[in-house]
Every structure is written in C-alpha cells, then in structure tokens.
Homo-oligomer: A and B are copies of this chain.
Amino acid sequence: MGETLAQLGENELLHRLARFAPAGQLDDDTAQVHTNEGELLINTDVMVEGIHFSEDTTTPKDVGWRCVTANLSDLAASGVDQILGITVGLVVPPETPWDWVEKVYLGIEAALKQFGGTLLGGDCSRGDQRLLAITALGTLGPVRLHRSQAQPGDSLVVSGPHGLSRLGLALLRSDPLIEAALLPDKLKQKAIEAHQHPQPCLKALHALQTCKPAELPWRAGGTDSSDGLLAAVQGLCRSSGCRAILDPTGLPKDPDWPLGQHWDSWCLNGGEDFELILSLPPKWATAWLQVLPSSQIIGVMEQGPPRVEWAHGKGEVSNFSSFKHFQ
C-alpha cells in the first residue's frame, strides 16, 4: 500500500502535490489567476466537524461565520482588493436537521454582509460527517503578498495578539487548568469571542495598502496565522529562504495575557488567530504600526538557514504543539 498520509505529514503532502500545479502556485494558501481582464485571487478551505469545529464549542451560525472568516483571512493575507464572493460545498449526513443547515447559512450571510461578497453557489451531498468546503474569490489590490517575498533586513510584524482563540477553546471546553488560572473576565470574553467569532485581517490589510512609503516598491512577505504564529513565520522562512529572529520579550500577547511557558506556547502555537504576519521593509513596518494600533514588531528577518530562532543565540523556537492536519 506504500506510505500513508499520516506517515507523510502535511508539509510533505503539500510538497508532493506542488508538482501538479504551476511553479510556486501552491506556495501560498491563495492562488492567483490571470485573466485577460485582470488578476484574481482564489482560495479554498475545508472545515470538518470534529477537527475544525464541534457542536460543544461552536454554534451552527458560528460554523458558517468561521468558514467565511478563514477564507477571507487567506485572501487578505494575499492582498485582496474587492471580495467577489464564495461558493459552498456542503456535505452532511441525511439525518442532519434543516435547522442546523439554515443557521450555518445565516452565519455565512452575516459574514458576507460585514466583509463583502455574495454567495455564488455551490453543491450539496450526503456524507458520513458534516463538513464545508468554501472557495472565496476576490480581485487583487496593489500589493501581492507572498510567503516567498520576505527579505533579509525586513521587520517581522503582526497585526494583533495571538493565542486568544486557543484560550477561548479551552474555556469553552471548561479545561480545569484554565478555570483554576483565575483569568480576568475581560480576557475570557475576548478569548471566547476570538474563537467563536473571529475577524479576518481585512482592516489590517487595508491599513497596509494605504501607508506604504512612496519611495518603496510594492514588495512584502506575508501570510496569515490560521495555523498559528510560529507556523506562519516558519512558512515565511521556508518560502523566502530567510532566518527569522524573534524577540522573546516581544511576543504579541493580549495586555491581560498571563506569564509562563504554557501561555507563551499558546501564543506561538495556538492557531486560528487569523492575523496578518508580514515581513516588511522597516520604514513600511513603522508606518503600519502608526496606522494600526494593534500591530507590533516581533522580530527581524536575516540571511541564514530557513528557521525561526530566538534573539541573542537562544536557539530554535520550538513548535511541539502546533496543529497537525494528518497526525
């Protein structure tokens, strides 16, 4: 039978699939489509019950909202201008109540109403497990963000704090360790909101598009942090052939975020943060910090092997708990 996907892991799987697409096409989550009339961005995300959402922690309306958000976040992390819309491939067991489906679509509708675009169609089928495959379509704005466009000398900047969604999940699951931590109510509310009702990083992108110093070209490395902050920075390193140096005292945390290794790990590896992670010339980074108060510098890009290291020679940043798709 040969190797299984569990043995390969996701990175090797994507690497092997890359040969079926034009060179570089699968390097980012979003693909660029050249038409005679202009450039389009297209992105597909699959969300499976029991893996990406569950009835315990996510209402059906939030399932719809999060599916759209995850897709639009990828379009934002590629430099979208106008969001045209989405298609929905819906798979559900026949015993699924209509009520569940309706609420999912109400969540989809609410997200499209807020962020733009329309429901363009789709397909439905029965299957053993509830899942949605969403494809989002948009036009390209002035800067095409790519993982491969980071350069040594860039500042590494993020649009907001990380780890909130992971904390929200723990709270929704009534994790006893977290309940014992006596967190401020404000942080708890923010974390649950981040998990159930995430926002795509479209505002952060818009700020980036409007603040570029005139003397700089439209070149920036970028991705979103849907698989976690560290995975996002590792993606930039791998595709750009650069080393990232992170400042251990400058992790992007909420002001109320507790201290400790466990909490740092959730900030780095929590996942589903949907923030923009950018590699920018320092002048552009500074301009972005001024127009987007939630953003911050977390490190620099340097020449060197493609990996993420702590500043002051403190070794490689560990991703022991990052999200694995097939393991």
Contacts and interface: CB of A to CB of B under 8 A. Distances in A.
Interface residues of A, number: 77
Contact of A126 (B1, B33, B42, B48): B48
A52 B125 contact: yes
Interface stretch (A8-16, A246-254, A269-277): A8-16
B89 A46 contact: yes
A99 B13 CA distance: 11
Interface stretch (A102-110, A185-193, A286-294): A102-110
A2 interface: yes
Given A46-B124, A127-B129, 7 more contacts: A4-B94, A5-B101, A13-B124, A35-B82, A44-B122, A46-B123, A131-B131
A38 interface: yes
A44 B8 CA distance: 28
Interface in A7-32: 8, 10, 13-14, 16-17, 20-22, 25-26, 28-31
A70 to B, nearest CB: 10
B38 A95 contact: no
Interface of A: 1-6, 8, 10, 13-14, 16-17, 20-22, 25-26, 28-31, 33, 35-38, 40, 42-48, 51-52, 82, 84-85, 87-92, 94-99, 101-102, 105-106, 108-109, 118-129, 131, 133, 135, 137, 139, 325-327
B97 A3 contact: yes
A118 B87 contact: no
A129 B126 CA distance: 11
Contacts of A30: 121
24 contacts: A5-B97, A5-B126, A6-B95, A21-B121, A25-B118, A28-B121, A31-B87, A31-B120, A31-B121, A35-B40, A36-B139, A43-B121, A44-B87, A44-B88, A44-B121, A46-B89, A46-B123, A48-B127, A51-B127, A89-B133, A123-B133, A126-B325, A133-B133, A137-B137
**Total copies of the chain:** 2
What 7 A-B pairs are tightest by C-beta distance, nearest first? A37-B37, A133-B133, A31-B121, A89-B133, A6-B94, A31-B120, A37-B38
A59 to B, nearest CB: 15
A302 B90 CA distance: 35
B31 A126 contact: no
A125 B51 contact: yes
A46 B13 contact: no
Nearest to A95: B4
Contacts of A84: 33, 35
B33 A35 contact: no
A155 to B, nearest CB: 28
A40 B10 CA distance: 32
A281 B92 CA distance: 41
Residue from A8, A14, A36, A131 with most neighbouring chain B CB atoms (10 Å): A131
Residue from A5, A89, A99, A121 with most neighbouring chain B CB atoms (10 Å): A121
Given A38-B37, A120-B42, A16 B127 contact: no
